[in-house]
Structure 1
Amino acid sequence: MSHTERFVFIAEWYDPNASLFRRYELLYYPEDGSVEMHDIKNHRTFLKRTKYEALSLEDLFLGNKVNVFSRQLTLVDYGDQYTARQLGSRKERTLALIKPDAISKVGEIIEIIHKAGFTITKLKMMLLSRKEAADFQADHQSKPLYNELIQFISSGPIVAMEILRDDAICEWKRLLGPADPELARTEAPGCIRALYGTDAVHNVAHGPDSFASAAREMELFFPSSSVCGPVNTARFTDCTCCIVKPHAVSEGLLGKILMAIRDAGFEISALQMFSMDRANVEEFYEVYKGVVSEYKDMVTELYAGPCVALEIQQKDPMKTFREFCGPADPEIARHLRPGTLRAIFGKTKIQNAVHCTDLPEDGLLEVQYFFKILDN
């Protein structure tokens, strides 16, 4: 690596005051993790070269949202040929689909995906209609199992993810292993289907096998137009809201947190990744404004990157989810309630791994905010 190596991206920032998008050239210097920004339209330096530890090389890929000094930027293009060649060469996106038989193993599978070097860029628990299931299984129309496949994939919640890394399509297929779990246990005992699969239909998860089918399938689950994709699974009854905060998502803690919630006896009945903007976060955190001294920092953290919202169903309201999250300050949580989520996964009072609904009467409102308002 040469001492002056730098990567250049074109980044867009939505300026809420002027109601328009502003374009910047974002330069990143890997040797010391510094950034620099130029305002493209006005041909002037917007940010002098400054060390900025919150950004890393892994964050730099097209379509990603990055936060630079509380400004949420979307990386829309490469700024020069060198960057396109170095960083754009083999990064691929593919679909990772967790089937109804493995919905209780979502945490484990996300953990495997994370450990294999993937970045999850989209995630949603959904229910497929029969028509959506038929569109998805179109390639299998001539196969004897076709009707059984459609019946099964629409029989309960699934989790669809867009995942990203070098050679993603091939690597995800390798991680899944052979379609028949029996064969998988012989040929690739460590693969996902060997670990959790039952038979050729109930085989845990799916991955497209070509660039074309990956593009087609991602369009089914995460349509790029204003068409709504498959519906989310929120039930809006006996529920409370949990948000896995951006720092915990980017540190790869999502799988572990989902496992901990399940193991504590809570049901995760809806799950979705959101990239919020400042206005949404301020609206969501309205109740804390003027009440909590950390309000501003709380807002900045929640739109610092993708977060994951969960609808938590409680069979036993006495063992409330809020108690399981623990005190807001992880230091205090570690002393008083060492088994709680914030004690285990939290770093600071702001980066404390999860947000949970504070007042029982707000549980439904917070769930509705994500799964009714933001999802539409």
Structure 2
Amino acid sequence: FQSQDERYAFIAEWYDPSASLFRRYELLYYPKDSSIEMYDVKNRRTFLRRTKYESLHLEDLYVGSKVTVFSRHLTIVDYGNLYTSRKLGSRKERTLALIKPDGMRKIGELFDIIINAGLTITKAKMMLLSRKEAADFYADHRAKPYFHELLQLIMSGPILAMELLGDDAVSKWRAIVGPANPTTTESDTLDSISESFGHYGLRDAAHGPDSVASAAKELELFFPSSGGRGPVSSAKFTNCTCCIIKPHAVNEGLAGKIIKAILKEGFEISALQMFNMERTNVEEFYEIYKGVVPEYLEMVSELCSGPCIAMEIRQFDPSKVFRDFCGPSDPALARHLRPGTLRAVFGKDKIQNAVHCTDLPEDGLLEVR
């Protein structure tokens, strides 16, 4: 009877570092008991017999997602059959969420709003726009009298560009952003970003494209698919330390709360980017812990188990040290000794302790780079 269970098929790629090539698999997912099966496409043979794998959920599986199966990082590149494509692919949309300089002090709240709306943040980067990039973004307004004011506002400081994915993402995010110039009746009923965070009119705090087509076009400006760099990062590389929100915390929807706590404590987040780190890079990044910390291998596995958010943190109050605000690396110890610290509040255990932060002041610049 098992073969009659409903199943979804995906094509997944895994980069095999020892052979320096991508291997393709058909990944079958059975929602009935959260089990998976994998076939090696090239060699036409079973790679993994049907096995229960409860940490993988149907909502994690969509084209473009990155999933971890028994410590292999797979990228879903396509749907494996028409049934899966029709059933799952139709309503999943990508859209651009752009937080303008006016809304940047509230990015923690905005992360929470996005996550609570059931949308997934798949890319995020704080950027500074050049005049040309700003003009390209506002190309449709070129003939308007307020064109130069628009450019000045969006170039007045860092912005945060994000790619959001979800069912009806375009209209969902547009509804959250709300109209640029709400009328009194609208603003009475609107629980939207422009009302909560931005001044009305041009200085609205956020932007969302109005259609799937404009979303694709605008995402291309900020996250070029051709492998281009896109606008420059807002990183300052001075008086800075590095903080990484670990994959488990991103996955649990804690990023917004961690960001809010950091800003509330008086630190500045001068750069931010979402990454998927490869195992070899993580091993290099954690090299100083090798042979010193018994949990080294588990720490490596955690940091490459999914997307993480890396931030450049700057501190201006000499009495406040960011490393102290992160707390002891063991959350149980942190809850006992330093209850208000990030790891005490958001950490679970030594490996899933919510954040990594630079241990030595002189490593701050190195890690941010």
Normalising by structure 2, what TM-score? 0.97
Gaps of 5+ in 1: 369-376
CA contact (8 A) 2:180 2:194 kept: yes
**C-alpha distance in 1, partners of 2:184/2:205?**
14
- Give secondary structure in 1 for the equivalent of 2:135: helix
Counterpart CA distance in 2 for 1:192 and 1:182 is 15
Q: Is the 8 A contact 1:182 1:199 kept in 2?
A: no
Task: Write the mapping of 1:136-285 to structure 2, written as runs, cut at 5 A.
Answer: 136-181=137-182, 183=184, 186-285=187-286
Read off the aligned partner of 1:175 and give its amino acid letter: I
Q: Retained in 2: the 8 A contact 1:62–1:77?
A: yes
Query: Which residue of 2 is the match for residue 373 of structure 1?
Result: none
- Quote the Cα distance in structure 2 between the aligned partners of 1:159 and 1:254: 14
Q: Tell me if structure 2 keeps the 8 A contact 1:184–1:193.
A: no
Per-residue deviation, 1:118? 0.3
Report if the CA contact (8 A) 1:182-1:194 is conserved. Answer: no
More displaced stretch, 314-323 vs 287-296: 314-323
- Decide which moves more: 228-237 or 176-185: 176-185
CA distance in 1, matches of 2:90, 2:182: 33
Could you tell me how far apart the structure 1 residues matched to 2:318 and 2:248 are? 29
1:61 aligns to 2:62 (yes or no): yes
Counterpart in 2 of 1:103? 104
Displacement of 1:144 in angstroms is: 2.4
Distance 1:199 1:20, change over 3 A: same
SS state at 1:201 partner: helix
Give SS of 1:76's match: strand
Deviation at 1:182, TM superposition (A): 5.9
- Greater alpha carbon shift after TM alignment, 247-256 vs 136-145: 136-145
Residues 1-376 of structure 1: matches in 2 within 5 Å? 4-181=5-182, 183=184, 186-368=187-369
Structure 2 gaps of 5+ residues are none
C-alpha distance in 2 between matches for 1:36 and 1:18: 23
**TM-score when normalising by structure 1:** 0.95
Tell me the distance in 2 between the aligned counterparts of 1:211 and 1:187: 28
Contact 1:177–1:184 (8 Å) recurs in 2:
no
Aligned AA (1:227): G
Distance in 1 of aligned mates of 2:82 and 2:268: 48
Q: Secondary structure at the match of 2:329?
A: coil
After superposition, give the CA deviation of every residue in 1:339-368 in whole Å (9 maximum; x if it has no partner). 111111111211111001111111111111
Task: Tell me how far apart the structure 1 counterparts of residues 5 and 22 of structure 2 sit (CA, whole Å).
Answer: 30
Counterpart residue identity of residue 295, structure 2: E
Q: Residue 290 of structure 1 aligns to which amino acid in structure 2?
A: G
Report deviation, 1:185.
6.0
AA aligned to 2:353 is N
**In structure 2, what is the equivalent of residue 372 of structure 1?**
none
SS in structure 2 at match of 1:318: coil
Q: Give the Cα separation in 1 of the matches to 2:76 and 2:227.
A: 21
State the distance in 1 between where 2:224 and 2:90 align.
25
Distance 1:44 1:101, change over 3 A: same
Write the letter of the residue equivalent to 2:248: H
| Contact 1:181–1:198 under 8 Å retained in 2 | no
In the TM superposition, what is the alpha-carbon distance from 1:249 to its structure 2 partner?
Answer: 0.6
Tell whether the 8 Å contact from 2:194 to 2:200 is kept in structure 1 after alignment.
no
AA paired with 2:241?
A: T
Aligned equivalents of 2:139 and 2:311: distance in 1? 31
- Considering only aligned residues, what root-mean-square deviation do their CA atoms show, in Å? 1.4
TM-aligned CA deviation for residue 211 of structure 1: 1.5
Secondary structure (helix, strand or coil) at the match of 2:317 reads coil
The AA in structure 2 aligned to 1:292 is: V
1:183: how far off?
4.5
> Cα deviation per residue 1:39-79 (whole Å; 9 max; x = unaligned)?
11111111111221221112111011111110000000111
Does the aligned pair in 2 maintain the 1:347–1:353 contact within 8 Å? yes
Residue 181 of structure 1, CA deviation: 5.0
Q: Matched residues in 2 for 1:186 and 1:72: separation?
A: 45
Shift of the 193–330 alpha-carbon distance from structure 1 to 2, 3 Å rule, reads: same
What is the number of residues matched between the two proteins?
Answer: 367
CA 1:183–1:286: 2 relative to 1, 3 Å: farther
